[in-house]
Structure 1
Amino acid sequence: MESTATLYIVPTPIGNLADITQRALTVLEQVDLIACEDTRHSGKLLSHFGIGTKTVAIHDHNERQRAQWVIGRLEQGQSIALVSDAGTPLISDPGYHLVTQVREAGHPVVPLPGPCAATTALCAAGLPSDRFSFEGFLPAKGKGRLDRLGVLAREPRTMIFYESPRRVLDTIADIIEVMGPDRPLVLARELTKTFETIEGRPAADLLAWLKEDDNRTRGEMVLMVHGHKAQEDELDGQTVKTLKLLAKELPLKRAAALTAEIFGHKKNALYKYGLEQGW
């Protein structure tokens, strides 16, 4: 461990306790204090490994206020480990405001590698993994969720979401509505645990499969969505917007020709699209 007071970001297992690293155990044993999302939850983990380091609660509701308290402890020479309930802190978990303020105060922040449900699921999904977008949790309410999915409908990268058992069926139904029934999905649930399941199907098929057995919608979930595959003649939003603006000022053929020159599309395809839209 570093000789100066340090804030350590320590990942903990997402299910299987054997996934904790030796370095994580060493840090948790040697720091002066462990900042936990839930001290009772983390207490069980620490007890399992015989770690008696003092704990303090830092979570979504008190993180901003406790940050200065943590900085005060660091200034006194005490090192602190930050853990969440499971996985890597800050990944859809508290810690962002704390880390920002600690760094701004000039104290070192040292991240440890370790478990993360998003990347663990992606490795086994069979979806493109060279580029991906981690989206965390979708909005809980239907309209907000539909609006967000609408923004992501043409995202070309694989998308990774965290989802709850209560909403997963509604979420997949919304994906079908916005992205179509054939969009490939992979649902990973209970990763590293006894009932780990990784199931990949087109959206409509996956929804039907989940409805066949209530047990399939239980547990912690990672939902992955194949990125949008643009068709060769498909028009993106910026192209359509440009064509529409030009068509208001110019004959459609001229507007189509200029738009084709700007964006590299075929002018006949743009002209046909404009006619279909009544421009």
Structure 2
Amino acid sequence: MSAARWGDVASYALFALLAAFFLLPFAWLVSLAIRTPAEVYLGAARFIPEAPTLDNFSAVLSDRAFLSYLWNGLKLSAGGGALAIALAIPAAYACSRIPFRGQGAVLVGLLAVQMISPLVILVPLYRWMSTLDLLNLHLSVIAVYGAIGMPLAVWLLKVTFDAIPVELEEAAQIDGASRWLILGRIVLPLARSGLASAFVLTMVMNWSQFLVPFILLERDQDWPISVAIFNFAGSVSASTTQLLAAACLIAVLPAVLVFVALQRMIVTALISGAVKG
């Protein structure tokens, strides 16, 4: 076997170990979610339940409060993703088409902002929102989600805009079209896959957010699913562990299914700038 083939084998073996490392907790979550209350007490003694059941999922989905938490999470995630895209479009287009001094520093700065954990800004964010009387409002959480997701969206959309031939815009400019008209009528329709990919990624990122809604939303009926599960976990007992596991699975599956279903489109959008020309 050649050295290159051995390298491939080693790479796949490493990826398999990493996948097993991250999938094992998920497998245990599935095992707990399909157990009866009596089998929960067996713990690690039995990985595959003797009498698997879907009653836990039925119990969770029949709870109107849980469905309300799911809707809140979907609304906040989609709203924050849409706001991030709306804010990122003009910034990404300017970075892609309009040369200006310090362009590289701006892009690096956006990337640096993306690396800052929301935990760092939670205390000043709470005080600022409290001063403006903006606590317990979904619009406040959506605004923060949009600000957090905008740097990632700018980078993704810049790659997408770079892949669009500039000759199309030059032809439109000769015909008298303005920058905004070119952006709305030519660039954005051609960038549909990139826009969709950026929206999906920012929405998935928002779906997993916990700290921001936990700090800004104090009323039970306003919580997204991530905060609701955390508060439920604080009062869970051994007899309701299977219900918590089922709720966690239901909360995780939407993001996983969306990402798996659209992964080809996302990868295509991410590498489109690399094959320009």
Output the TM-score relative to the length of structure 1. 0.23
Relative contact order (alpha carbons < 8 A, sep ≥ 6): 1 or 2 greater?
2
More helix by share: 2
* Larger Rg, first or second structure (1 or 2): 1
Output the TM-score relative to the length of structure 2. 0.23
